[in-house]
């Protein structure tokens, strides 16, 4: 089986629980470190899937790696190679596939509940749930749905938290890959951003870190469902 290509756009926003899940299932992966100057492949080279992580930049920034990443996403979708995006990754997918990315009504940082927006479309990805789902957030921008996509998750502060395209590709505004270690690192590195924000959807580092281990376990339960559905479409 060829590896999944995982794009890291910032040294502090690694794949976290996503690679823990892949290792547990014996699925190979390769990290493309955009932040360290790794070149964007000009083709998939047989990759079984494409994963895009988060980052502090905007997909609308004039960055040299953005156009080739958008092109690779389009190529993967055209070839039915599963694509999954986390936060910035979901925004890159949306822009590549015809959606728009711009400012969310408010900045959203910390824990926040997710609601199912379309039960039929969401069921294969998150299972049956009568109540809200756990989510972690750190974003100021968001995406519109690309043509043909179905919104499956929403939140009180952000209408589009996750969408599915062709029952194979998943773009998320939220983060389900977080670990306690990643969360602690983000709180440390993002303390100034939190302090400067007056958004009602931004939590303090202390609030974010409260019961973080237990919260991460709940988040991983959701991630297991999402990732389990996504790997069903991998090219093996």
Q: What is the CA radius of gyration of the chain?
A: 16
| Of residues 231, 69, 71, 212, the one with CA closest to residue 134 | 212
pLDDT at 170 over 70: yes
Report the CATH architecture of 4-231. 3-Layer(aba) Sandwich (3.40)
Quote the CA–CA distance of 16 and 34 in Å, as a whole number.
16
Tell me which of 96 and 128 has the higher pLDDT.
Answer: 96
For the segment 181-204, the average pLDDT, to the nearest whole number, is 97
C-beta of residue 123 within 8 angstroms of C-beta of residue 225:
no
Has residue 4 got a pLDDT over 70?
yes
At residue 129, does pLDDT exceed 80?
Answer: no
What is the per-residue pLDDT across 5-30, written as a single tens digit (0 to 9) for each?
999 999 999 999 999 999 999 999 99
pLDDT digits over 56-91, tens only? 999 999 999 999 999 999 999 999 999 999 999 999
Q: What is the pLDDT of residue 130?
A: 64
What pTM value is reported for the model?
A: 0.97
pLDDT of residue 236: 72
Q: CA-CA distance, 232 to 236, in Å (whole number)?
A: 10
Instruction: Residue 6: count other Cβ atoms within 10 Å of its Cβ.
Output: 23
């Amino acid at each position: 089986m060829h590896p999944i290509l995982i794009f890291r756009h910032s040294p502090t926003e690694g794949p976290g629980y996503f690679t823990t899940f892949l290792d547990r299932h014996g699925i190979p992966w390769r990290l493309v470190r955009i932040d360290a100057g790794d070149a964007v492949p000009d083709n998939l080279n047989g990759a079984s899937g494409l994963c895009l992580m988060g980052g502090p930049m905007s997909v609308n920034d004039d960055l040299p790696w953005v156009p080739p990443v958008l092109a690779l996403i389009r190529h993967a979708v055209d070839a039915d190679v599963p694509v999954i995006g986390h936060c910035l990754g979901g925004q890159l997918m949306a822009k590549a596939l015809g959606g728009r990315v711009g400012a969310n009504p408010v900045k959203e940082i910390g824990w926040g509940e997710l609601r199912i927006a379309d039960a039929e479309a969401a069921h294969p990805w998150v299972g049956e749930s009568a109540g809200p789902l756990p989510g972690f957030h750190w974003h100021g921008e968001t995406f519109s749905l690309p043509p043909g996509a179905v919104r499956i998750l929403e939140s009180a502060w952000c209408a589009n938290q996750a969408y599915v395209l062709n029952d194979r590709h998943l773009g998320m505004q939220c983060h389900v890959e977080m670990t306690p270690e990643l969360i602690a690192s983000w709180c440390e590195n993002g303390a100034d951003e939190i302090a400067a924000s007056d958004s009602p959807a931004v939590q303090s580092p202390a609030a974010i870190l409260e019961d973080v281990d237990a919260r991460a376990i709940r988040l991983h339960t959701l991630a297991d469902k999402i990732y389990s559905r996504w790997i069903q479409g991998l090219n093996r």
